[in-house]
Amino acid sequence: MRFAVDAHAIGRNLTGNETYIRSLLRGFSEVDSESEFIAYVSEPAAGEWVPESFTVKHVSQNPFRRLGWDLAAGAKADKADLLHVQYTAPLFCSVPLVVTVHDVSFLECPEYFEWARRTQLRYTVARTVERAARIITVSEFSRKSILNAYDLAPNAVTAVPNAANQAFRIISREKALASAREKLGFDAPFVFSVGDLQPRKNHIGLIEGFARMLTAHPQLRHHLVLTGKDTWFAPKVREAAAASGFGDRIHFTGFVTERRLLHFYNACDCFVFPSFYEGFGLPILEAMACGRAVACSDTSAMPEVADGAGVLFDPRKPEEISRAMSDILLDSSLRGRLERLGAQRAALFSWQSSARATLDVYHDVMAERQGAGVKPVATVSVPGNKG
């Protein structure tokens, strides 16, 4: 079989989409030595992130050219058996399509999107889902949301969970702290959060919760470190930090490399993920894989991912965010228990398993195309907590 994958996100710092496709390609290389894989990339140096055994082809960085011509022409010329994309398929394609739709937040929470982006996603994703041979998503929550949003047979959508990259692991605490001090410029314990500075990630609620915690517990010396790219919403987040009364203890790092992120995870005293809505919530698993205690929102897919290994809170109530953080920081036994449970939870997920489940979907599509009958597509649930 020859499988083509739209990997244009690689090398473009597109956070979740890039992490997904890089990790999936690596997983394919580790579990399938028989199939051929073609990765269509846009960035000149993106090939270094693609497994050596894969064929790398370049498509335009311009989405109109990529979706209007390059991907479809490439898949046809390369005689691909199918093409796997994220969210949006090319306008015309002669080979079967598999699409990963991580979530439908643009439908369920449109207020978190600018009008143009929301409108574009409504049209292009609906068109892609209608044409796709199979749809993959990343959690049972997202699977149900997709089935609720579109007229699809239940076995048309398969939930294949993400996993923390193998790079995220427990390392020397001293080494991590030294690296963090060098990058951040202060020598104090800190609370950590990851996410682009956009409304859905709820940084303003986290900042208010952090300020409440320090006001209620002045003995805590902690700072707050926020890692993620700036967006149009970033000035409002920075204004909230400046107005919090603790602006000198709130730090914005911007986008950081995976290696730097590993050090920040290992160096923090706890990780907080206050997002309003997530199709999965990968940073939760990344922090757990690094042995950190996690507090996260009780909405969308996040309880499914944390599954008893984290402290949950209502992201719309800063007082609950404050309480979750202070409980972890002030109770060493709770913190230690969460660190153990979190490491066990993260170990239940792997990109090898996710790659195998994705390949099962590919082969189901091929069986249907070749007239061998349609096998029911299994829903691969997020693992339950066995810790």
pLDDT in tens, 190-207: 999 999 999 999 999 999
Same domain for 114 and 10? yes
Q: How far apart are the C-alpha atoms of 205 and 354, rounded to whole Å?
A: 33
Coil, helix or strand at residue 340: helix
Q: Which pLDDT value is given to residue 381?
A: 55
Q: Which pLDDT value is given to residue 382?
A: 60
pLDDT at 311 over 70: yes
Q: How far apart are the C-alpha atoms of 157 and 155, rounded to whole Å?
A: 5
Same domain for 365 and 334? no
**What's the rounded mean pLDDT across residues 292-320?**
98
Could you write out the DSSP letters of every residue in 239-284? HHHHHTS-GGGEEEEES--HHHHHHHHHHSSEEEE--S--SS-HHH
Q: Indicate the pLDDT class of residue 127, thresholds 50, 70 and 90.
A: very high
**What's the rounded mean pLDDT across residues 18-36?**
96
Residue 226 lies in a domain: yes
Q: Which pLDDT value is given to residue 373?
A: 46
Q: Which residues pair with 297 in a beta bridge?
A: 313
Same domain for 191 and 149? no
Q: Which pLDDT value is given to residue 384?
A: 65
Stated as kind and residue range, the H or E segment containing 270 is strand 270-273
Q: Which pLDDT value is given to residue 374?
A: 43
* Domain count across the chain: 2
Q: Which pLDDT value is given to residue 269?
A: 98
In terms of residue numbers, what domain contains 213? 173-346
Q: Indicate the pLDDT class of residue 383, thresholds 50, 70 and 90.
A: confident
pLDDT at 81 over 50: yes
Q: Which pLDDT value is given to residue 142?
A: 98
Residue 86 lies in a domain: yes
Q: Which pLDDT value is given to residue 378?
A: 42
pLDDT at 387 over 60: no
Q: Indicate the pLDDT class of residue 114, thresholds 50, 70 and 90.
A: confident
Same domain for 196 and 134? no
Q: Which pLDDT value is given to residue 371?
A: 77
Q: Indicate the pLDDT class of residue 292, thresholds 50, 70 and 90.
A: very high
Same domain for 288 and 205? yes
Q: Which pLDDT value is given to residue 15?
A: 73
**What's the rounded mean pLDDT across residues 308-314?**
97
pLDDT tens, position by position, 247-276: 999 999 999 999 999 999 999 999 999 999
Q: Which residues pair with 82 in a beta bridge?
A: 3
Same domain for 143 and 35? yes
Residue 105 lies in a domain: yes
Residue 281 lies in a domain: yes
Q: Provide the phi-psi class of 255: left if phi over 0, else alpha when psi is between -120 and 50, else beta.
A: beta
Read off the CATH number of the domain in which 336 is found: 3.40.50.2000
Which of 41-55, 201-215, 369-383 has the weakest average pLDDT?
369-383
Same domain for 202 and 301? yes
Same domain for 354 and 329? no
Q: Indicate the pLDDT class of residue 160, thresholds 50, 70 and 90.
A: very high
pLDDT at 385 over 60: no
Mean pLDDT of the chain: 94
Q: Which pLDDT value is given to residue 238?
A: 98
Q: Which pLDDT value is given to residue 375?
A: 42
Contacts of 87 (CB under 8 A, 6+ apart): 99, 100, 101, 102, 121, 124, 125, 128
Q: Provide the phi-psi class of 15: left if phi over 0, else alpha when psi is between -120 and 50, else beta.
A: left
Residue 380 lies in a domain: no
Q: Which pLDDT value is given to residue 362?
A: 98
User: Tokens in use for 30?
Assistant: 């580790």
Residue 121 lies in a domain: yes
In this structure, the number of other CB atoms found within 10 A of the CB of residue 331 comes to 13
Same domain for 267 and 306? yes
Same domain for 192 and 90? no
Same domain for 187 and 151? no
Residue 168 lies in a domain: no
pLDDT at 225 over 50: yes
Same domain for 191 and 77? no
Q: Which pTM does this prediction carry?
A: 0.91
Residue 379 lies in a domain: no
